[in-house]
Amino acid sequence: MSQSVEPYSVAFARYVRNRRLFEQLRPGDRVAVEHQVRVGLRTWTVRTEGTVVQTQRVREGLHYRRNWDDPAYADQIVLRRDDGELTTVTLDEYSTLELLQRAEEPSASDSVSASSASQ
C-alpha cells in the first residue's frame, strides 16, 4: 500500500498559488483549506471550511540545527467554522487553499449613513 509521491514542481506550484491567495485574504472572506494530516504511518486528507478571522506569518522554531539568522516562517489562517468553533490552519506544501466567497465591502452610502447616524 504505497502512496505515490508528487513531483516537487507540482508541490511548489501549489505553494505559490496558496501564497498569492493568502496575501489577498482579509477578515470575513470564506475559504476552504484541504490539507493532509499525518499520524505515524497513516495519512488522510481533511477539508476545513470557515470564515477568515485573521491571517498571520509566524516564525517557526521547529527546525533542527537551523542558523539563528536563517528564520523559517509558516502561514497561518484563523477560521471561524459554521458551528462557531475557532480553528487555526497552518499551510504547507500539501495544503490547497480555495477562496469560496469574498467579504462584502461596505459601500460608500453605507459608510456615509453610518457616520451621520453616529453624529
- Could you give the angle at the alpha carbon of 17 between the alpha carbons of 87 and 26, nearest 5°? 45
- Is the torsion defined by CA of 49, 54, 55, 57 positive or negative? negative
Burial class of 78 by CB neighbour count within 10 A (0 to 12, 13 to 18, 19+): middle
Cell of 18: 496558496
Cell of 23: 496575501
Domains and CATH numbers, the chain: 8-104 (2.30.30.520)
The mean pLDDT values, 10 residues at a time, for the chain of 119 residues are 69 88 95 91 94 91 66 90 95 91 72 50
Check: pTM over 0.75? Answer yes or no.
no
